[in-house]
Amino acid sequence: MAIIGAAILSAVGTSLVARWAAATGFVDHPGGRKAHDRPTPLGGGVAITLAALLPIVLAVFFAWLLADNPPDWLPQSIRIHLPGIASKTFVGLGVVVAAVTMCAIGLADDVRPMQAKVKFIGQFLIALFLVVGCDLRLMSHLPSGISIFLSILWIMTLTNAFNFLDNMDGLAAGVGMIAAAVFAVAALAAGQLFVPVCCALLAGALLGFLAFNFHPARIYMGDAGSLVIGMLLAVFTILTTFASPGEGQEPFGILAPLVVMAVPLYDTCSVVYLRWRLGVPIWTGDRRHFSHRLVRRGMGVRQAVLVIWLATLVTAMPAILLSHATWPLAWGIVIQTILVVSLVALLETDKRETP
């Protein structure tokens, strides 16, 4: 229900936003480093954000309203979960506020590109709000200073990884959908409910948007979408219990987010390295991304995107097993991830660099 409902909301919202953007001139014009040949509407990220967040707001509100005295007409299968959903009110609304703020920053950047440091400061403040204000922390058993630092670093890293990844039709949306679906399964396997439903909502929102964004794209998500996708995935991984020895989960589970995100993180690291090596500011957009290098090797846009989707799927799916894996299987999954990333690195290596 979460996936289908969010997909429908996203598809309808994307269609409406595309019409509005085309009518008002809120479009991405071709030229320069951009590969499209006609003005393409922006603002798809707004539809993605609303489709993923609106059901969360409604669910939390009604659970808080009905938890103490649920009506008789409400099915028992839903009533038993009302107290649990209501208990997530603070965290849920905190995530919604952070995501809406991130979407607003991205939308402002889409309308008029802002300085990288201004956008970076905004991302940092949002991450700080989530980690300190909402107490969303990785490895909370570590000293608080270290845990807070790692949590902020993780949120900002994934936020910018998806911002970098949004460089080809359908790429960021497809990779985000795969990652969200895998995290939903992993959270379900851990016995959670709130997180898998949130992940399913994000996966559905991206699925509905993909109907308009796969090559040739009829609308772009812009920073209003890519920043939100990365931030939400980072938050959902923090909320997921990947390793809990008391619940029969092995410590290798903490590697699951890194394994799932191996391909997006590879793209981020490789393009940052190339820009640094060539003396180009790392925040400056160009055509040195993983996907662009695949196209220069002879692939079409759709083929390059599908290769990256499949590489993400191959590394992500085994991550579901890490929480219950013994050390030989866990090391096997990690080694497989390294081999897949190495394979795609060899596949896309191109000595020719474009400005």
Read off the tokens for 169: 């039709």
Cβ-based burial of 351 (10 A; exposed 0-12, middle 13-18, buried ≥19): exposed
Residue the block writes with tokens 């058993």: 141
Mean pLDDT across the stretch 112-116? 88
Tokens 């991405």, residue? Answer: 28
Length of the chain as a residue count? 355
Q: What is the mean pLDDT of residues 45-51?
A: 96
* pLDDT attached to residue 355: 43
199-224: average pLDDT: 95
> CA-CA distances (angstroms) from residue 154 to 99, 105, 160, 161, 306?
16, 19, 10, 10, 26
Residue 141 or residue 35, greater confidence: 141
Q: 39-48, 216-225, 274-283: which has the minimum mean pLDDT?
A: 274-283
Highest mean pLDDT among 40-49, 238-247, 335-344: 40-49
Top pLDDT among 70 and 232 is at 232
End-to-end, the C-alpha distance of the chain in Å comes to 46
Q: From residue 314, how far is each of 12, 151, 178, 290 by CA, in Å?
A: 31, 26, 10, 17
Among 30-44, 121-135, 206-220, 313-327, which stretch is predicted with the lowest mean pLDDT?
30-44
Is residue 140's pLDDT more than 80?
no
Q: Is 21 exposed, middle or buried (0-12, 13-18, 19+ CB in 10 A)?
A: buried
Q: Would the pTM of this model clear 0.75, i.e. be above it?
A: yes
What is d(CA 265, CA 258) in angstroms, rounded to the nearest whole number? 8
- Is the pLDDT at 266 greater than 50? The verdict is yes
Percent of the chain with pLDDT over 90: 49
Contact in structure between 17 and 40 (CB atoms under 8 Å): no
* Least trusted range by pLDDT, from 19-23, 113-117, 182-186, 281-285: 281-285
d(CA 334, CA 123): 30
In this prediction, residue 62 has a pLDDT band, given cuts at 50, 70 and 90, of: confident
In the chain, beta strands by DSSP E: 27-28, 40-41
- Residue pair 307/290 in contact (Cβ under 8 Å)? The answer is no
| 101, two tokens | 């703020």
For the chain, domain boundaries = 2-348
